[in-house]
Amino acid sequence: GAAGELGRVVPAADLLAAAAAAPAKRKVVVTGANSGVGLEGAKLLAAAGHDVVCACRTAAKAEAAAAACGGKAVPAVCDLADLKSVRAFAASVKDVDTLVLNAGLALSTKDTAAQRTKQGFELTIGTNHLGHMALYELLEKRLAAAKGQPRLVVTASPVHDPKSGGGDVGSKATLGDLEGLAQVDFDMVDGGAYDPDKAYKDSKLCNILFTAEASRRLAKLNPKATANAFSPGLIPAPDGFFKYQNKFFAKTFNTIATAAGVAETAAFGGSCLAFMAASPSLDAVTDGWYDTDPPGKHQLRAHDPSDEARDVAKQKKLWDLSAALIAKASA
């Protein structure tokens, strides 16, 4: 497990060296590989000789991502907001030993009404959690059957934790008793009124609960298989993660965060992703949570996620309710 890892610090230089140091060539699928951390991570993994699939929402984005990887990666369409697209993509994946669920959507905090996926889920949870979970369920057996040391890597965020620096600003993440997931057309997981800020934080909490349950499921199928979550830190580039927010806010925030020394770059985030995907030092580590703690110090540190994220009953309940929703929407 990850217990022996707690407190382990991985400095930036070690993160960068990790992708190239992997002894065996990996077959890596990266969602959201068209920008930011996903693109930088895919470029590092491809440069290190791994077989990379850039899974993106549109063919144009996927082709641009593969080209940015020096033509060494394979472009593929996987729109996480459409389960039909997820199924088509999963069917095209012959081999995978490293599945990186990285794509993330943060909608404008000014939105007053929930946007919907093709199947009618709230867009943030539908993309960041349900779309990824659907993909994992479709690829689980193929991933577990891979030779070597199969890995699931999930990009999460410290905002899942109300006690973290970003998690205690604005709305706080909590999934309540998950009553929203009892119906397809939920606005919020906890059954409350739509709140875009909370929806994003909740989606990141879902990511960590999901990773914990996936780590147990994978271990049953293959004792060498692992699942870990990480955060690449606060990367406030206005055209990246903050692209749906007010442009003035995004630029100002970027300037302040960078000046305050708490910001990271997409290149650093990419090295974190490549480390999680390929570093031999993580071969026996599962159900771990790594983030840039303290912020802006260009390092990953293994530590415990939030109390709610460690609730085993909630991990299982989220899985069961989500799987039922996906099955119902796919029928």
List, by residue number, the catalytic residues: 200
Which residue bears the tokens 């993309």? 127
- Angle separating helix axes 132-144 and 83-92, nearest 10 degrees: 20
Helices (H) and strands (E) in the chain, counts: 10, 9
* Sheet with 299-302, edge to edge strand ranges: 9-11, 299-302, 289-291, 226-230, 151-155, 98-101, 27-31, 51-56, 73-77
The amino acid at 174: T
CA dihedral 138, 139, 141, 144 (to 10 degrees): -150
Q: Which residues pair with 153 in a beta bridge?
A: 100, 228
Q: Read off the DSSP letter of residue 53.
A: E
Give the span between the Cα atoms of 61 and 221, in whole angstroms.
34
The pair of three-digit structure tokens given for residue 176, joined into one six-digit string: 């309540």
Q: Are the beta carbons of 26 and 326 closer than 8 angstroms?
A: no
